[in-house]
Copies of this chain bind each other. A is one copy, B any other.
């Protein structure tokens, strides 16, 4: 028995979850929305839409975009994006710890399958 979960933030629809989060991490690493989309096997358009939707629903500008050039321009995270990601990471880590602990508390003694490890699914938005 394993716990699985998804966590995401809504504001008139899915606003932020593991998808936008991972995309922002790749942008931070590569300095490019184009590269980040490639790493995540997303089209540039899809990645752009994902970020734009998060920006609109969170009310935060996440990226400074430079459009154009062969590589699709460069993108960097805004200070607001970095602050938001820090909060998201802290929330996510504490939520995971709490959920696994509560699951062990209520189901830990019930080893039905001989497999009592816990597994977490990532969230998605």
Contact = CB atoms under 8 A, between A and B. Distances in A.
Interface of A: 1-11, 14-15, 58-60, 84, 87-88, 90-91, 94-95, 98-99, 102-103, 105-107, 110, 112-113, 115, 119, 123
B9 A6 contact: no
Q: Which of A14, A58, A88, A91 has the most CB of B within 10 A?
A: A91
Given A99-B98, A102-B95, A1 B6 contact: no
Question: In the assembly, how many copies of this chain are there?
Answer: 2
A102 B91 contact: yes
Nearest to A6: B6
Given A5-B8, A10-B119, 11 more contacts: A1-B9, A3-B9, A4-B8, A4-B14, A9-B107, A59-B112, A87-B106, A91-B103, A94-B106, A95-B98, A98-B98
